[in-house]
């Protein structure tokens, strides 16, 4: 049976086996969730940790999920919120630490290799400068290619808000990327 078939079988009307739900969601969504988290934080290991934490939180609350078909959106929402929290903690620790020795660069991940070109790095840097909600909408809509409905479900906002945030983000990206470097 394909992943889609297994996932739809698991995502029936009720969650009878939380372990199966989490396992199937991990198989179907794990990689895209790491890519999603990777957009929000610079560190691949941190992105993987955030996704792992999201799955643990989903597993803890799997028995109380009323609409299992919404579990993937719930999981994406957890990842985005964890990434925001991760970034806030990082900013606070940077403000309170003394000058640290330079960090030795680590080997680029496959995602880094994919984002290889200078233009791609400029776009990614511009996306990271966007406000949280705009960045989340842009990443979900254009990077992960979710529909407006899926994006709205994930972020728990209306489809019109998704359109507005995307429009504003695209205008901001255009201004940032057209500015002389």
136: domain CATH number is 1.10.10.10
Place of tokens 């989340």: 136
Spatial distance between the Cα atoms of 15 and 137, rounded to a whole number of angstroms: 29
- Structural domain contains residue 106: no
36 and 78: one domain?
Answer: yes
- Structural domain contains residue 167: yes
- pLDDT of amino acid 113: 55
| CA angle, residues 50, 54, 58, in degrees to nearest 5 | 170
- Total domains, the chain: 2
C-alpha closest to that of 76 among 25, 19, 131: 25
167 and 125: one domain?
Answer: yes
Which whole number is the average pLDDT over 114-137? 80
Strand, coil or helix: 147: coil
Out of 10-14, 27-31, 147-151, which region has the weakest mean confidence (pLDDT)? 10-14
In which domain, by residue range, is 59 found? 1-96
Which whole number is the average pLDDT over 141-167? 91
DSSP 159: H
71 and 142: one domain?
Answer: no
86 and 148: one domain?
Answer: no
- Structural domain contains residue 90: yes
- Structural domain contains residue 139: yes
Given a contact cutoff of 8 angstroms between Cβ atoms, the answer to whether 138 and 130 are in contact is yes
91 and 128: one domain?
Answer: no
- Structural domain contains residue 101: no
26 and 91: one domain?
Answer: yes
- Tokens representing 55 are 């799955």
135 and 71: one domain?
Answer: no
Spatial distance between the Cα atoms of 109 and 71, rounded to a whole number of angstroms: 28
- pLDDT of amino acid 60: 86
- Structural domain contains residue 38: yes
Final residue of a structural domain among 48, 69, 96: 96
- Structural domain contains residue 173: yes
Q: Quote the pTM value.
A: 0.61
CATH number at residue 38: 1.10.1740
Spatial distance between the Cα atoms of 8 and 99, rounded to a whole number of angstroms: 51
Residues with Cβ within 8 Å of residue 35, at least 6 apart in sequence: 111, 143, 144
pLDDT score of 42 more than 80: no
- Tokens representing 60 are 């803890």
- Structural domain contains residue 177: yes
């Amino acid at each position: 049976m394909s992943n889609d078939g297994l996932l739809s079988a698991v995502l029936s009307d009720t969650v009878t086996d939380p372990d199966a739900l989490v396992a199937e969601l991990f198989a179907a969504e794990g990689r895209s969730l790491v890519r999603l988290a990777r957009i929000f934080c610079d560190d691949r290991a941190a992105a993987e940790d955030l996704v792992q934490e999201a799955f643990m939180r989903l597993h803890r609350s799997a028995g109380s999920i009323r609409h299992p078909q919404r579990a993937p959106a719930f999981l994406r929402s957890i990842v985005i919120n964890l990434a925001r929290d991760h970034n806030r903690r990082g900013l606070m620790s940077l403000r309170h630490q003394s000058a640290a020795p330079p960090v030795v660069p680590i080997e680029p991940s496959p995602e880094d290799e994919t984002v290889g070109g200078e233009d791609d790095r400029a776009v990614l840097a511009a996306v990271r400068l966007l406000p949280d909600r705009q960045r989340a909408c842009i990443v979900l809509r254009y990077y992960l290619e979710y529909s407006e409905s899926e994006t709205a479900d994930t972020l728990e906002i209306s489809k019109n808000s998704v359109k507005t945030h995307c429009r504003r983000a695209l205008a901001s990206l255009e201004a940032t990327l057209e500015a002389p470097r």
